[in-house]
Amino acid sequence: MAEKPVSDKTEPASPKKLEEAREKGNVAKSAEFNSAVVLLMGITALYFVSAGALEGLNGFMRQTYQQIRFIDGNTERIMNQTSAMFALLQKVVLPLFLLIVVGGVLANISQVGINFASKALIPAWSKINPAAGFKRIFSTRSLVETVKGFVKLGIVAWLAYLVINKHLDAFIHLSHLTIDKALFFFGEVIFEMALKIGLALAVLAVADFLYQKYDYQKNLRMTKQEVKDETKQYEGSGETKGKMRSMMRASARRRMMDAVPEAAVVVTNPTHIAIALSYQSITTEGAPIVVAKGKRKIAQRIIAIANEHNIPVIQNKPLARHLFVTTEVGGEIPVEFYQIVAEVLAQVYRMKQGKVNFA
């Protein structure tokens, strides 16, 4: 079946479609954002470890030159110098490596959260389809990536020029500086250049993330028919839902009728409304409870069940009408009806004492 034109996909992606996309590893993600965060973390790490690294390198080189005339043929001294070199590398490289890894992980989590997309590991032969690859090369996304690459290159070149031009006079007088001061100067210039480039790329990365999110949502849009089909599949058709509601009502009605034999009295109006009240005894704590209620045919069925089980049926039009409106099945009667219901129950009690047959 041919894919629907993008212009027809006017509806936002449903939560179900978004979840399916996440399971396949299809998420809104900017590689530029990751690169910018890693770059800034690396620059920050270098700034804090550079002084210690230079001091350690200076001490290592001094020690090496002092020991060089004793190293020839001495395996122990060679091993000591090698260990010192690896210790220096560990002191400098390990913090830098850890900060960069942490930055990369946090950058990914901040964009897409924690997502284990197992379906993304399944080979997709469509990705190696030459026709699909050719289409991707000349797509809008490819054009955006090309423009973005030129913009990044221009930003880096422009900022590098500004920083170098700012320190141009100092570059001219480098020959008058000692090696330590010259290295310190180069370090400052490189750090300033890297920091400005990193911040500029971070701004570009935020803009790229917003674009990637927009493009992601646009590509996952659905047609109105797709939304209807998914809703029908998820919730069922109107006919099915109607049948389910009908079945639920019938089940509730059966449970209600099964509770009528437990009632103490049925109040009627006289045949249009019937309210079955349950109450254990006059001395029991708590209010009477409506165990069943209904109009017309349901009311007649309640009355019939009451007669079958010799339950008193008392006509009280005002009470029946008010209880029907104000009380739900399973609920206690309102406080304002306590007195009149107590009178009805007392009447039932007297009738039972007189052994009246209610059938």
- Given pLDDT bands bounded at 50, 70 and 90, which one contains residue 328? confident
Q: What tokens were used for 344? A: 């009805």
- Given pLDDT bands bounded at 50, 70 and 90, which one contains residue 79? confident
pLDDT of residue 359: 40
Residue range 185-191: average pLDDT?
82
Distance separating alpha carbons of residues 23 and 20, to the nearest angstrom: 5
Among 80-89, 91-100, 329-338, which stretch is predicted with the lowest mean pLDDT?
80-89
Domains delineated in the chain: 8-232 (no CATH), 256-353 (3.40.1690.10)
Among 13-17, 138-142, 330-334, 354-358, which stretch is predicted with the lowest mean pLDDT?
354-358
Distance separating alpha carbons of residues 318 and 342, to the nearest angstrom: 15
Other beta carbons less than 10 A from residue 167's beta carbon: 16
pLDDT exceeds 60 at position 76: yes
pLDDT, the chain, mean: 76
pLDDT exceeds 80 at position 89: no
Among 116-120, 228-232, 350-354, which stretch is predicted with the lowest mean pLDDT?
116-120
Among 238-242, 243-247, 347-351, 354-358, which stretch is predicted with the lowest mean pLDDT?
354-358
Q: Is the pTM of this model over 0.75?
A: no
Partners of 315 in the β-ladder: 268
**Strand blocks (E) in the chain:** 265-268, 273-278, 289-295, 313-315
What's at 316, amino acid-wise? Answer: N
pLDDT of residue 3: 45
- Percent of the chain scored above 70 by pLDDT? 74
Residue range 66-93: average pLDDT?
67
pLDDT of residue 357: 45
pLDDT of residue 63: 64
Q: What tokens were used for 323? A: 């209880």
For the stretch 289-310, pLDDT in tens is: 888 888 888 888 888 888 888 8
**pLDDT higher at 49 or 322:** 322
- Given pLDDT bands bounded at 50, 70 and 90, which one contains residue 348? confident
For the stretch 106-140, pLDDT in tens is: 888 877 777 666 555 555 555 555 555 555 566 67
pLDDT of residue 211: 86
In Å, what is the CA distance from 142 to each residue of 9, 44, 97, 221, 296? 22, 32, 32, 20, 71
pLDDT exceeds 60 at position 73: no
pLDDT exceeds 70 at position 47: yes
pLDDT exceeds 80 at position 105: yes
Distance separating alpha carbons of residues 196 and 47, to the nearest angstrom: 14
Distance separating alpha carbons of residues 21 and 164, to the nearest angstrom: 47
pLDDT of residue 134: 55
**Size of the chain in residues:** 359
Distance separating alpha carbons of residues 50 and 52, to the nearest angstrom: 6
Q: What tokens were used for 185? A: 């100067």
The structure tokens 């830098």 sit at: 96
pLDDT of residue 283: 40
The structure tokens 């299809």 sit at: 26
pLDDT of residue 122: 59
Among 34-38, 211-215, 242-246, which stretch is predicted with the lowest mean pLDDT?
242-246
pLDDT of residue 158: 92
pLDDT exceeds 60 at position 261: yes
pLDDT exceeds 70 at position 343: yes
Other beta carbons less than 10 A from residue 112's beta carbon: 13
For the stretch 282-293, pLDDT in tens is: 444 567 888 888
Among 115-124, 169-178, 338-347, which stretch is predicted with the lowest mean pLDDT?
115-124
